[in-house]
């Protein structure tokens, strides 16, 4: 049963918190990583560098709808995972009959937030990461909703580390393969558990390790109890990935990209002179300004291929950019 009062209280809390601080507000809606009986789980409100945000995990279209209705107009952005196993088309399509009327609805990938969380944490914690051997442990045939997580994480770390090795715990291994896997553990500087809610880091394998590796729980609950006990006995560092930094980073990027497309990007005219902004490729000689919605600077001239010239080629161009700068008030020049 959906607790509509709890949703309303959380929406009101985010609205008031953002108003008091003068911050932008957002709310993310994701699914549960693995099958659950719960229909809805609400999480605490967070604040980060001008942003107040909350999030919920939903397990039914009804829970998704209840959140959108409660949040519409109370947060600036409602952000939904594109991989939800629910029919949310009435809310998320451009012409959806129940789409938010006052809040902006934006899509994101929850799986990629998980992946970026691992990368950001490793970059921050391990200064010489390019010289480290990283072993990722997971399942060849995962059954969770984030089934692409393991392969995406593998791809994202390759090239960032000295060596990136993979141990599929559920894959049959012959004697030669077992020796290779054993060698991976012996030489590993970092062991990452990358299955969702599955105990894939096992004591029997940690006992083979010779370098005292950093153990990273990237899937929440990937360390078997006896493996964790063994790690404590040996003084191995164990960390569980926290996705707050990557979630905030995703929201900043998503919101600013939306702002770029909806307010900065475009083409128009200033005092009869054609102008473009925000990445729109103008015809050669078109004046490039900093924003279509609220232009303040004439940056230079489009070259017709996406690049900018900062100096006029002739007297006609010089006169045109001067007219735009005068229309913008004052100098209106770049820099």
pLDDT at 333 over 80: no
Task: Give the model's pLDDT for residue 36.
Answer: 80
Residues ≥6 apart with Cβ < 8 Å to 335: none
Q: Phi, psi (5° rounding) for residue 188?
A: -70, 135
Task: Give the model's pLDDT for residue 33.
Answer: 84
Task: Give the model's pLDDT for residue 331.
Answer: 59
Q: Which helix (H) or strand (E) holds 113?
A: helix 110-125
Task: Give the model's pLDDT for residue 335.
Answer: 47
C-alpha dihedral sign at 147, 98, 59, 242: positive
Query: 86 and 60 in contact (C-beta within 8 Å)?
Result: yes
Measured CA to CA, the distance from residue 164 to residue 184 in angstroms comes to: 10
Measured CA to CA, the distance from residue 91 to residue 63 in angstroms comes to: 12
Whole-model pTM: value is: 0.86
Task: Give the model's pLDDT for residue 141.
Answer: 87
Task: Give the model's pLDDT for residue 330.
Answer: 64
> Which one, of 140, 146, 141, lies nearest residue 84 by Cα?
146
Is residue 255 helix, strand or coil?
Answer: helix
pLDDT at 198 over 50: yes
pLDDT at 97 over 90: no
Mean pLDDT calculated for residue range 232-240:
97
> Which one, of 133, 138, 198, 208, lies nearest residue 166 by Cα?
138
Burial degree of 127 (CB within 10 A; 0-12, 13-18, 19+):
exposed
Mean pLDDT calculated for residue range 22-37:
91
What confidence tier does 239 reach under pLDDT thresholds 50, 70, 90? Answer: very high
Residues 42-60: pLDDT tens digits? 999 999 989 999 999 999 9
Q: Chain centroid to CA 166: how far? A: 24
Domain boundaries, the chain: 4-108, 112-244, 266-328
Query: 289 and 302 in contact (C-beta within 8 Å)?
Result: no
Q: Where are the alpha helices (DSSP H) in 22-104?
A: 61-71, 89-92
What CATH number was assigned to the domain covering residues 112-244? Answer: 3.40.50.720
Residues 65-96: pLDDT tens digits? 999 999 999 999 999 999 898 899 999 887 78
In a 13 Å sphere around the CA of 23, the CA atoms on its Cβ side amount to: 18
Please state, rounded to an integer, the average pLDDT across all residues of the chain. 93
Percent of the chain whose predicted confidence (pLDDT) is above 70: 98
Measured CA to CA, the distance from residue 26 to residue 49 in angstroms comes to: 13
Task: Give the model's pLDDT for residue 298.
Answer: 96
Query: 45 and 70 in contact (C-beta within 8 Å)?
Result: no
Q: How many helices (H) and strands (E) does the chain have?
A: 10, 16
> Which one, of 250, 317, 225, lies nearest residue 81 by Cα?
250
Mean pLDDT calculated for residue range 219-234:
96
pLDDT at 35 over 70: yes
pLDDT at 129 over 60: yes
Residues 269-298: pLDDT tens digits? 999 999 999 999 999 999 999 999 999 999
Which H, E and C letters describe 69-83, residue by residue? HHHECCECEEEEECC
pLDDT at 144 over 80: no
Percent of the chain whose predicted confidence (pLDDT) is above 90: 84
Task: Give the model's pLDDT for residue 334.
Answer: 53
């Amino acid at each position: 049963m959906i607790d509509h009062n709890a949703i309303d209280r959380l929406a009101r809390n985010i609205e008031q918190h953002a108003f008091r601080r003068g911050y932008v507000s957002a709310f993310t809606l994701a699914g549960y990583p693995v099958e659950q009986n719960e229909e809805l789980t609400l999480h605490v409100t967070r604040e980060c560098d001008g942003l107040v945000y909350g999030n919920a995990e939903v397990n039914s279209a009804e829970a998704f709808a209840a959140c959108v209705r409660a949040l519409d107009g109370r947060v600036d952005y409602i952000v939904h995972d594109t991989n939800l196993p629910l029919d949310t088309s009435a809310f998320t399509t451009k012409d959806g009959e129940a789409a938010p009327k006052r809040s902006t609805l934006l899509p994101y990938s929850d799986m990629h937030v998980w992946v970026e969380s691992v990368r950001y944490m490793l970059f921050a914690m391990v200064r010489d990461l390019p010289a480290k051997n990283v072993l990722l442990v997971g399942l060849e045939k995962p059954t969770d909703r984030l089934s692409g997580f393991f392969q995406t994480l593998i791809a994202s770390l390759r090239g960032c580390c000295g060596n990136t090795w993979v141990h599929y715990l559920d894959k049959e291994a012959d004697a030669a393969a077992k020796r290779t896997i054993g060698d991976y553990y012996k030489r590993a500087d970092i062991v990452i558990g990358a299955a969702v809610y599955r105990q894939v880091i096992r004591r029997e394998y940690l006992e083979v390790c010779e370098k005292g590796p950093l153990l990273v729980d990237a899937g929440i609950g990937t360390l078997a109890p006896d493996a964790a006990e063994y790690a404590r006995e040996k003084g191995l560092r164990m960390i569980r990935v926290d996705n707050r930094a990557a979630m905030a980073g995703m929201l900043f990027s998503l919101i600013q990209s939306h702002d770029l497309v909806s307010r900065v990007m475009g083409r128009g005219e200033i005092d009869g002179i054609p102008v473009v902004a925000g990445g729109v490729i103008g015809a050669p000689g078109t004046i490039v300004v900093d924003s279509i919605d609220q232009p303040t600077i004439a940056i230079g001239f489009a070259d017709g291929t996406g690049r900018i010239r900062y100096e006029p080629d002739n007297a006609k161009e010089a006169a045109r950019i001067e007219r735009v700068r005068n229309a913008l008030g004052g100098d209106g020049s770049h820099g």
